[in-house]
């Protein structure tokens, strides 16, 4: 048990060191004449953002259907079927949208990042990079982290609309509600705080997922097997951290 604990704290400290290193290379080094690698950033934004749109749409669409049906049952009892739109909108914007998008990104892109960086570590590519005087954090981590942090809120917003569309389908075609009323209730109930708290969550989740993925890629040890092990660890840690930080953030927004 003590050994597990020690190893856990070792991971936490080295993760924090990598994270601060990342912050330096992302935000301070451009002022010291180290140019941001814009081409790499756009490439990663395509890989992480654009290529994830379809799966985020799919997942969020089904989530909208489910939410509408689940809430309809209860709302029917109090005669509030018209509120389905508002409920779906608020639930998805504040909570389910950011979280589900982050989980999709962890499974789809986080795993890919860990596997890619881990394979580079095993093939001595990261060492080669270092001996050429190129900083792997600057070269590999910063574009990936920034790409995910930029793309996650965009994906979340798109996904929220998709979920609301799913809810609308149920509302109109199964619950016989007015097609226009659904949208009016939805935007009536959606407050500005819901939007910004959802966006802040999304940014925090993306920061965690991308940094965890890069960290587990960098520490790979022991060949192809090590890459597999690290990839699993990366996804599991990301998902746990998403939900844990969600709890903290929700409490924060609830009490302020």
Partner 1 sequence: MDASPQTSAETQPKSGPIGPDDVIVAEDVVKIYDGRRVLDGVNFRVKRGEILVIMGGSGCGKSTLLRQLIGLQQPEQGRIWIDGSEITRLTEEEFINVRRRFGVLFQSGALFNSMTVGDNVALPIREHYPNQPEMTVDIMVKMKLSLVGMTQFSHLKPAEISGGMKKRAALARALALDPKLLFCDEPTAGLDPTRVTEFDELTLKLCKDLGVTAVVVTHDMTSAFRIGTRMILLNKGKVWAVGTPAEIRAHPDPGVKRFINGDPESEVRQDADSYLQDILGES
| Interacting span for partner 1 (CB under 8 A) from 115-123, 180-188, 207-215, 216-224 | 115-123
> Minimum distance between the CB of residue 18 and partner 1, rounded to whole angstroms?
14
Q: Does 225 bind partner 1 (CB under 8 A)?
A: no
> Minimum distance between the CB of residue 74 and partner 1, rounded to whole angstroms?
52
Choosing from 6, 58, 134, 174, the residue that interacts with partner 1 (CB under 8 A) is: 134
Q: Does 1 bind partner 1 (CB under 8 A)?
A: no
Q: What is the dihedral of CA 145, 150, 156, 159, to 10 degrees?
A: -110
DSSP state of 80: -
Choosing from 7, 74, 124, 221, the residue that interacts with partner 1 (CB under 8 A) is: 124
CB contact at 8 A, 111 and 91: no
- Which of 45, 33, 240, 13 lies closest to 138, judged by CA? 33
x-or-dash string of contact with partner 1, 64-103, rule CB under 8 A: ----------------------------------------
Question: What's the rounded Cα separation, in Å, for the pair 239 and 218?
Answer: 19
Q: Which of residues 13-52 bind partner 1 (CB under 8 A)?
A: 35
Q: Does 123 bind partner 1 (CB under 8 A)?
A: yes
Q: Give DSSP secondary structure letters for 100-155.
A: HHHHHHIIIIIHHHHHHHHHHHHTTHHHHHHHTT--HIIIIIHHHHHHHHHHHHHH
- The half-sphere exposure of 241 on its side-chain side, counting CA atoms within 13 A, is 21
Q: Does 133 bind partner 1 (CB under 8 A)?
A: yes
| Interacting span for partner 1 (CB under 8 A) from 64-72, 122-130, 185-193, 221-229 | 122-130
CB contact at 8 A, 68 and 166: yes
- Dihedral sign, Cα of residue 50, residue 55, residue 58, residue 61: negative
Nearer to partner 1, 119 or 233 (CB): 119
Number of residues that bind partner 1 (CB under 8 A): 14
Helix (H, G, I), strand (E, B) or coil at 36: coil
CB contact at 8 A, 233 and 216: yes
Q: Does 4 bind partner 1 (CB under 8 A)?
A: no
Q: Does 125 bind partner 1 (CB under 8 A)?
A: yes
> Minimum distance between the CB of residue 140 and partner 1, rounded to whole angstroms?
10
| Interacting span for partner 1 (CB under 8 A) from 120-128, 181-189, 222-230, 243-251 | 120-128
Residues that bind partner 1 (CB under 8 A): 35, 119-120, 123-125, 127-134
């Amino acid at each position: 048990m003590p050994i597990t604990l020690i190893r856990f704290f070792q991971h936490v400290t080295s993760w924090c060191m990598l994270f601060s290193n990342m912050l330096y290379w992302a935000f301070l080094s451009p002022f010291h004449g180290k140019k941001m690698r814009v081409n790499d950033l756009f490439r990663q934004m395509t890989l992480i953002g654009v290529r994830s749109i379809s799966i985020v749409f799919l997942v969020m669409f089904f989530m909208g259907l489910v939410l509408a049906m689940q809430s309809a049952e209860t709302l029917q009892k109090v005669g509030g079927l018209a509120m389905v739109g508002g409920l779906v909108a608020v639930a998805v914007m504040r909570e389910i949208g950011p979280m589900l998008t982050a989980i999709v990104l962890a499974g789809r892109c986080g795993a890919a990042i860990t596997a890619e960086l881990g394979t580079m570590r095993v093939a001595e590519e990261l060492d080669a990079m270092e001996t050429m005087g190129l900083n792997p954090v600057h070269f590999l981590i910063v574009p990936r982290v920034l790409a995910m942090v930029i793309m996650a809120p965009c994906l979340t917003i798109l996904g929220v609309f998709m979920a609301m569309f799913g809810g609308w389908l149920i509302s109109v075609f199964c619950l016989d509600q007015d097609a226009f009323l659904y949208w009016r209730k939805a935007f009536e109930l959606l407050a500005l705080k819901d939007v910004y708290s959802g966006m802040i969550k999304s940014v925090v989740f993306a920061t965690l997922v991308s940094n965890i993925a890069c960290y587990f890629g960098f520490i790979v040890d022991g060949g192809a097997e090590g890459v597999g092990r690290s990839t699993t660890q990366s996804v599991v840690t990301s998902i746990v951290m998403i939900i844990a930080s969600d709890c903290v953030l929700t409490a924060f927004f609830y009490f302020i």
